[in-house]
Amino acid sequence: MLALVPSEGAALDMADIVRQASAQLPRFAKPRYLRQMDSLPKTATGKIQRAVLRQQGSAGAYDAEAAPAR
């Protein structure tokens, strides 16, 4: 899963992000799920809590394999 935090007021085109990732990453590294978030969960020392992201899973995330091809 790829967690994305856009800049203030920026809109994300998930299909475009998937296309760019497909062009630059090997097939095994291409993320299947993309999730837009307001902020990443962090510890008191500022480290990203990857376990929290894993627990959230793919529910509500953009599924690159289920999206129609352009």
Condensed to tens digits (0 to 9), the pLDDT of residues 9-56 reads: 888 999 999 999 999 999 999 989 999 999 999 999 999 999 998 888
Is 33 part of any domain? yes
CA distance to 2, 52, 60, per residue, from 46 (Å): 19, 14, 26
When pLDDT is cut at 50, 70 and 90, the band that residue 70 belongs to is: low
Range of the domain at 31: 2-63
Q: What is the dihedral of CA 1, 11, 47, 42, to 10 degrees?
A: -90
Q: How many domains does the chain have?
A: 1
What local confidence, expressed as pLDDT, does residue 40 receive?
93
Residue 68 lies in a domain: no
Per-residue confidence band for 68, with pLDDT thresholds at 50, 70 and 90: low
Structure tokens at 49: 């809590």
The answer on pLDDT for 6 being more than 60 is yes
Task: Return the CATH number at 27.
Answer: 3.30.300.30
Cα-Cα-Cα-Cα torsion 35, 38, 42, 44, nearest 10 degrees, comes to -170
Per DSSP bridges, beta strands 2-4 and 33-36 are: parallel
Q: What is the pLDDT of residue 56?
A: 86
Q: Is residue 34 part of a domain?
A: yes
Main-chain dihedrals φ then ψ at residue 35, nearest 5 degrees: -130, 125
